[in-house]
Structure 1
Amino acid sequence: MTTTLIIGGSSGIGLATARLLVARGDEVHIAGRSAQRLDDARLALGDAGTDVATHVVDALDAAAVASLAAKRAPVGRLVLTLSGSEGAGRLAELDLAALRRAFDGKFWAHLTVLHAALPHLAENASITLLGAITARASMPGTAGLAAVNAAVEALVAPLAAELAPVRVNGVSPGYVDTPWWGMVPDADRRAFFDGVASELPTRRIATADDVAEVVALVATNPNLTGTVIEADGGARLKAA
């Protein structure tokens, strides 16, 4: 049985990925900073929740990450679905302190986990990182987010070459209806999503399950490495 460790797995894409990989027979562990959110995640998984172990860990705490990975070694699949809510805004109004926190919460958190967990990965393990289409799409007001996500996605190719035969891939979502949007009132969010969906080539906003299918693909397919798959509904085409 393959041991899967999902850091940032208490909601959204990480939680949906946990559900998929449990169904495929993995021993799944999800880690996050909030014990309450982890408890909620277990409930959200329903019957599958009994097969998922939860761990309270801050991704920026290298010692805690290393300890968790060591206890579950060898880790066959390491999935990082870390995100944050800061860093957006047009350059003239951009809060640089918030952008620094965004780098800490996503880029540095990704790098910290990778560095700490590396000694505890299986020889043929897979690593999957989560970026976002802002890394390539020319969307006004997203320069800060673009820099954060581009930094994460830039890790993929060199690490795939450096760490082989460990496989390293990334997934780059576009607009996804997840708890990340929870700060926006429901009516406003629905109106925004409707407007965005009407201009996307797919004419729909992705669900967490849609993106989780792609995460599971790159995490499990033995012939994929050094690849960032754009699961954005064509958002990059609209932005271009």
Structure 2
Amino acid sequence: MSQRTALVVGGTSGIGLATARLLQARGATVHVTGRGKERLDALAATDTDLVGHRADAGNPDEMGALAEAIGGIDWLVLAAGGSEGPGPVAELDLTVLRRAFEAKFWPYVSTIQAVLPHLAPDGSITLLSAVTARTGMPGTAGLAALNGAVEALVRPLAVELAPIRVNAVSPGLVDTPWWNGLPEDARRGYFAQAAAALPVRHVASAEEVAEVVALAATNANLTGTVLEADGGARLVPLG
């Protein structure tokens, strides 16, 4: 894996950071982006081998300039996103749902457009979606629409951009900062309840999902595929 270059968008925390660390440990030069100076400063202190950049994935000019500065990119991983969008449809604030699309779906599309001229012909694009695109969990219609839109990009782009490979990874419950909005006791209680229901009997770590993201990014025989890394969440009721 030496001499390869990865760009992980949204790589300062959670699954994105775990993926960046894994790809770097396997010999790649890894660039990560984030919008917040605090997280990038923390990254510079803890992960000196990762190259951090302050950039907004929703700004194609910034992402295009960054890709040009990096030069050739082999693996583009899109892991940016937000925490907005859940809730019963009757009460769902559509302004909030639009913001959720602005935080994830549109930045994914615009970043692909911006980075594509700098992506290696045998490179790859890996998108992060979520299990909500594949389940019937009440209260997740907005998230399902958002992540379903992300997954809908995969097959046509895999054909249109070939031989560049395009895949997505669909995680389920993952113990990441996404859950920090919940009080600690509530988070632990929900995780314990969910773990008992999941076929794998545990809530995933970011590192477990990162293994799947790295596989999608680096395996030369995978394209047009959504890899389910959800611990079986799509198979059982969790609501």
Q: Same fold (TM over 0.5)?
A: yes
Give the root-mean-square deviation of aligned CA atoms.
1.0
Give the CA deviation at 1:51. 1.4
Alignment deviations for residues 167-223 of structure 1 (CA, whole Å, 9 cap, x no partner): 001000000000010111111100010011111111100000010000001101101
Q: Which residue of 2 aligns with 1:147?
A: 145
- Provide TM-score, normalisation by structure 2: 0.97
1:22 to 21, 24, 42: 24
2:11 to 5, 9, 16: 9
- 8 Å contact 1:15–1:41 — kept in the other structure? no
- Provide TM-score, normalisation by structure 1: 0.96
- 3-state DSSP of counterpart to 1:113: helix
- 3-state DSSP of counterpart to 2:236: helix
Please list every run of 5 or more consecutive structure 1 residues that lacks an aligned counterpart in the other structure: none
Q: Which residue of 2 aligns with 1:114?
A: 112
Q: Which residue of 1 aligns with 2:127?
A: 129
Give the CA deviation at 1:85. 0.8
Alignment deviations for residues 73-112 of structure 1 (CA, whole Å, 9 cap, x no partner): 2100000001111010001111110000000101001111
Cα separation, 2, equivalents of 1:41 and 1:74: 23
Cα separation, 2, equivalents of 1:226 and 1:141: 29
Give the CA deviation at 1:43. 3.4
Question: What code does the residue aligned with 2:127 have?
Answer: L
Please list every run of 5 or more consecutive structure 2 residues that lacks an aligned counterpart in the other structure: none
- 8 Å contact 1:129–1:170 — kept in the other structure? yes
Question: What code does the residue aligned with 1:218 have?
Answer: A
Matched, 1:103 2:105: no
Residues paired across the two proteins, number:
236
Matched, 1:219 2:217: yes
Q: Which residue of 1 aligns with 2:81?
A: 83
- 3-state DSSP of counterpart to 2:168: strand
Q: Which residue of 2 aligns with 1:68?
A: 66
Alignment deviations for residues 123-174 of structure 1 (CA, whole Å, 9 cap, x no partner): 1111000000100100000000000000001101100000001000100000
Q: Which residue of 2 aligns with 1:206?
A: 204
Q: Which residue of 2 aligns with 1:228?
A: 226
Identity percentage of aligned residues:
58
- 3-state DSSP of counterpart to 1:127: strand
Cα separation, 2, equivalents of 1:239 and 1:103: 26
- 8 Å contact 1:169–1:227 — kept in the other structure? yes
Cα separation, 1, equivalents of 2:26 and 2:134: 32
Question: What code does the residue aligned with 1:175 have?
Answer: L
- 3-state DSSP of counterpart to 2:83: coil
Question: What code does the residue aligned with 2:173 have?
Answer: Y
Give the CA deviation at 1:71. 1.1
Cα separation, 1, equivalents of 2:231 and 2:71: 36
- 1:163-182 to structure 2, matched below 5 A, reads 163-182=161-180
